[in-house]
Amino acid sequence: MKTLKLLFEKNLAWASAIKDKDPEFFSLLSKQQNPEYLWIGCSDSRVPANQIVDLAPGELFVHRNIANLVVHTDLNCLSVIQYAVEALKVKHIIVCGHYGCGGIKASMDKGVNGLVDNWLRHVKDISRFNAEELKGLGQKQKFDRLCELNVIEQVANVCKTDMVQRAWEAGAELDVHGWIYNIENGILKDLDNSITSNGQLEEKHGMYELT
């Protein structure tokens, strides 16, 4: 049986390096986590959440799936948001997409990938919502823009969850951000569509029915 020895060796070296710098690091962290941020990102191996923003264990609560989607009925993602907002009381939720996303690319083609094509129907919906804007673009521009539009849509989906709605109603400080990461140079970009209230949600996403 393969035991992936290399990974265990790397793990020991990693844990030792942290302990050398801060002997109490793991014992203190084992008592509680207190992250300020929830990161919702793509599963892509080139987009590792903690490393991109150089945050240590304990500083980032993370959910990742293919194409960083926040689907209204995905109990996995919704449970993460609930725990982050209600128990950990994070101050920021970051939806981070990335250019060159294989999930977004696959959504632009005729689906031949099996199960995952059903998941990516959600991205095809976003193409449909934004058909006017995407119509005139070349293939590369369209790909890049769809990566961005997907983030903007998922930010709105986060805002519409009952957990975020309840938090805002209770006066909690909770900002929802949309970022995109460039896998070609390692740089993050803020898509400048942060939302901190229902007023802003309505302003930026007028098509959403507010209750």
By CB atoms closer than 10 A (0-12, 13-18, 19+), residue 114 is: exposed
Please, what is the Cα angle at 81 between 79 and 86, to 5 degrees? 95
- 106/201 with CB nearer Co ion: 106
**Of 80 and 104, CB closest to Co ion:** 104
CB nearer to Co ion: pick between 35 and 44: 44
Does residue 77 contact residue 63 with C-beta atoms inside 8 Å?
yes
CB 13 within 8 A of CB 20: no
What is the smallest separation between the CB atom of 191 and Co ion, expressed in angstroms? Answer: 16
- Nearest approach, Cβ of residue 47 and Co ion (Å): 7
Instruction: Out of 49, 78, 96, 101, name the contact with Co ion by CB under 5 A.
Output: 101
Pick the catalytic residue from 63, 77, 96, 101: 101
% helix, strand, coil for the chain, step of 5 = 50, 15, 35
- Asked if residue 44 binds Co ion (CB under 5 A), the reply is yes
- Is 22 annotated to bind a ligand? Reply is no
44 is catalytic: yes
For position 80 contacting Co ion by CB under 5 A, the verdict is no
Of 55, 39, 45, give the one whose Cα is nearest residue 183: 45
Q: Contact 128/118 with Cβ under 8 angstroms?
A: no
Establish whether 92 is a catalytic residue: no
Task: Please indicate whether residue 42 is annotated as part of the active site.
Answer: yes
The footprint of Co ion on this chain (CB under 5 A) covers a number of residues equal to 4
Specify the residue for token string 């609930």. 82
Task: Annotate each residue in 118-157 with x if it binds Co ion (CB under 5 A) or - if it does not, as one string.
Answer: ----------------------------------------
> Catalytic pick from 77, 96, 98, 159?
98
Q: Residues 167, 85: contact at Cβ < 8 Å?
A: yes
d(C-alpha 81, C-alpha 89), whole Å: 10
**Nearer Cβ to Co ion, position 35 or 41?**
41
The residues annotated with a catalytic role in the active site are 42, 44, 46, 98, 101
Q: Which amino acids are annotated as binding site, given as ranges?
A: 42, 44, 98, 101
Contacting residues toward Co ion, per CB under 5 A? 42, 44, 101, 103
